[in-house]
Amino acid sequence: MDISDFYETFFEEAEELLADMERLLLDLDVDDPDVEDLNAIFRAAHSIKGGAGTFGFTVLQETTHLLENLLDHTRRGELSLRRDIVDTFLETKDMLHDQLDAYRNGGEPDAEAFERISRVLQQIALDELGQQKAVTKTTAAPAAEPAPAPTPEVETPRQPADDQATRDGAENAKRRLSIALVGVSDKDRALLVEELQHFGTIVSQSGDAQRYQVSLDSAESQDDIEAVLCFIIEPEQLSIEVDGSASPGAGTETPEAPAEREPAEQAPAPVSEPAAPAIPEQTTSPEPAKSQAAPARAAGKSGGKSAKGSESSTIRVPVDKVDQIINLVGELIITQSMLEQTASDLDIVSHGPLVNGMNLLQRNARDLQEAVMSIRMMPMDYVFSRFPRLVRDLAAKLDKDVELVTEGKSTELDKSLIERIIDPLTHLVRNSLDHGLESREKRVAAGKSPTGRLTLSAQHQGGNILIEVIDDGAGLNRDKILAKARSNGLAISDTMSDDEVWQLIFAPGFSTAEQVSDVSGRGVGMDVVKRNIQEMGGHVEILSKPGEGTTTRIVLPLTLAILDGMSIRCGRETFLLPLNAVLESLQPQAEDVYSMAGDDQLLKVRDEYLPIIALHHALDVAGAKTELTEAIAVIVQGEGRRYALLVDDLIGQQQVVVKNLETNYRKVPGISAATILGDGSVALILDIADLHRLDRRKSQQRHEAKRQHLHEVARV
């Protein structure tokens, strides 16, 4: 086993630490920062630096080293925070993320960008801490060492700051540690022993795969050693104890460590003196550097002894393995549907045990499906956590005061959707900040607070998730939108409803911005938002009140893998409706059907007039019932509107596995996906909103063809 086998673990954990760092930096009160938050930010940088040093990611290590030391001065009250300093820390975080991506892709980070950010961080140290001499990069440490000679050990108490209670005196006192490896294979044991050599001197080692004992003379803390080794083995396979039977020196140094630590801690105390370096130099010896960095790099994963519980209760599983399980469960449901259809034809009296077994299989298959799907579910906090930084930076660029509020962060959504919803949400948030929220002056003139409020919320609603972007701005201007639509050549009418007018925003190339900027005005983005959301099986709605604000609502299915559907028949064909789109079904009466201009017809349902979609007309299905009173009207909902869908028969509810039709075949109008029925045939899953648009187009074509025919007849 090679240490590179653990690269991916380090990359994942470093990304998590960077995300935590950004969140904490954004939440900091620059006037009165929380000490715990500062310590957490410092520990995140420290852990990344340690891991980078162990894996040989030099640029990443040096960048985090510079940041770490400034953060250390900050948490100790020696550097006063300002907004521009926090901005620099955030910029450094972005740089660290870019460096991490470069190493992940097997390349090297941008050297010019590294030089630039290094100069910026060093300049902050000089300006804010009153340094007399600029500190060179870590690679130039030998040339800079003579100057900070009076206090070269400033970093000594700070370097192990991940777990200060156990590590503060570790570097001043070596002791004999007895390390037991339980149930470790020969291959892993060789790698562990190699790692232990970086922590000190191996005195002896013996044992077998069942229990292998290593005696180590080391100045590192037990928690640091444990954190590193737990990258390779589980905490339960490791035991580290101080060997009291060792030499007197090793046995007596441990209790004396606190006493010996006092002088070491007192020496760097006057860090505010000009002679103290803002960015302390690393040692030039490569082996000690690795030794110090190695324990630090795993602190984010294990966090010392306190992480044992979490390590044992969670595991990391690649997404493709989870997808494989999902696919297998899908195949199981298809097989279960086939068996269920076969069993439905059997006599329940003569085949009672078989029928009961099928019912049990159906129940277990559903429970298994729900359990497996829950693995794929992720909280919306994963998405919402990306926006505080976006709002902060964009608000500063637009010179607006904005308060971001998030609600429903624990609401869960399928991972396949949660990754795809980030981009549409980003466009909507940018649009609200740019067009929705007014400037301070306009808000004050309108009697509002100068600080605008932007709310991101998520909640479950039946089988859907409802995501809203809400601002308390000026709202949408109907006249302005209509005027822009006319200038763009769109077919509009002054009698259009507000909902129809708001939907014009999603037209390609549509923008009401008076001038093009780097934020908006090009008319791209909102059309992509709608298209992407529709591809996910959802729809987007807009609610707006002049002077009060705008709410953009996204409705998505919770998952695209397996859904509950309603089987319907039209002619000889079987189709499926998403069950969450079905409201009710009824037998249309002649007196409830109203004809409109052209061939349009409406169905009156409890004082509400619903557009009628004849499925056989929309999809050209032969052999279907054409009389309205003979068909069944299924009241369905799509994109916030209700329709009456005419079908021949209702077959029943069933759980189906969604198969992407566009990937396997092509995009079919009015169809969102396909599935395999119990008899092995393929059934199409209907897209209500797109089906209505398809039906309208065909009605217009039929109307135009009829009018053309009448013209020809009249001419003859």
Closest to 556 measured CA to CA, from 574, 522, 532 = 532
The tens digit of pLDDT for each residue in 359-399 reads 888 888 888 877 887 787 888 888 898 899 889 888 888 88
pLDDT for 277 beyond 60: no
CB 153 within 8 A of CB 292: no
pLDDT for 424 beyond 50: yes
pLDDT of residue 499: 82
Name the pLDDT band for 413 (thresholds 50, 70, 90). confident
pLDDT for 451 beyond 50: yes
CA–CA separation, 39 vs 72, rounded Å?
A: 8
Maximum mean pLDDT: which of 168-177, 361-370, 425-434, 550-559: 425-434
Q: Which residues pair with 552 in a beta bridge?
A: 469, 542
- In the sheet that holds 562-570, the strands lie side by side as 649-657, 562-570, 573-578, 682-686, 671-676
Angle between helices 35-55 and 286-297 (to 10 degrees): 130
CA–CA separation, 163 vs 434, rounded Å?
A: 45
- In the sheet that holds 582-586, the strands lie side by side as 582-586, 632-638, 641-647, 608-614, 601-605, 593-595
Residues sharing a CB contact under 8 Å with residue 323, sequence separation 6 or more, in sequence order: none
pLDDT for 646 beyond 90: yes
pLDDT of residue 598: 63
Three-class DSSP labels, 206-265: EECCCEEEEEEEECCCHHHHHHHHCCCCCHHHEEEEECCCCCHHHHHHHHHHHHHHHHHH
Q: Which residues pair with 201 in a beta bridge?
A: 217
pLDDT for 403 beyond 80: yes
CB 61 within 8 A of CB 49: yes
Name the pLDDT band for 289 (thresholds 50, 70, 90). very low
CB 566 within 8 A of CB 582: yes
CA–CA separation, 369 vs 564, rounded Å?
A: 12
pLDDT of residue 3: 60
Q: What tokens does 573 get?
A: 């064909």
pLDDT of residue 650: 92
Name the pLDDT band for 594 (thresholds 50, 70, 90). confident
CB 555 within 8 A of CB 541: yes
Q: What tokens does 534 get?
A: 């529709």
For a pLDDT cut of 90, what percent of the chain falls above it? 10
Cα dist from 113 to 94, 96, 99, 108, 117, whole Å: 11, 10, 10, 12, 6
Cα dist from 601 to 573, 595, 597, 611, whole Å: 24, 4, 9, 6
Query: Which amino acid would we find at residue 120?
Result: V
The tens digit of pLDDT for each residue in 140-178 reads 433 333 334 333 333 333 343 344 444 444 444 678 888
CA–CA separation, 123 vs 682, rounded Å?
A: 67
CB 60 within 8 A of CB 115: no
User: Would you state the torsion angle of the CA atoms of residues 89, 92, 93, 94, taken in this order, to the nearest 10 degrees?
Assistant: 130
The tens digit of pLDDT for each residue in 215-246 reads 888 887 777 777 677 667 777 788 888 876 55
Separation of first and last alpha carbons in the chain: 88
pLDDT of residue 231: 63
CB 366 within 8 A of CB 562: no
- Quote the mean pLDDT of the chain: 77
pLDDT of residue 282: 39
Q: What tokens does 290 get?
A: 């690795």
Residue 299 phi/psi, 5-degree rounding, is -60, -35
Run of H or E including 487: helix 478-487
Q: Which residue is it, tokens 């089987």?
A: 567
Pairing verdict, β 608-614 and 562-570: unpaired
pLDDT for 76 beyond 50: yes
Kindly report the number of other CB atoms within 10 A of residue 319's CB atom: 11
Among 279-288, 309-318, 320-329, the range scoring the smallest mean pLDDT is 279-288
For a pLDDT cut of 70, what percent of the chain falls above it? 78
Higher pLDDT, 650 or 327: 650
Cα dist from 607 to 290, 372, 500, 505, whole Å: 77, 43, 22, 31
Tell me what the mean pLDDT of segment 434-441 comes to. 88
Q: Is residue 400 packed enough to be buried (19+ CB in 10 Å), middle (13-18) or exposed (0-12)? A: buried
pLDDT for 287 beyond 50: no
pLDDT for 575 beyond 90: yes
Q: What tokens does 316 get?
A: 């990391």
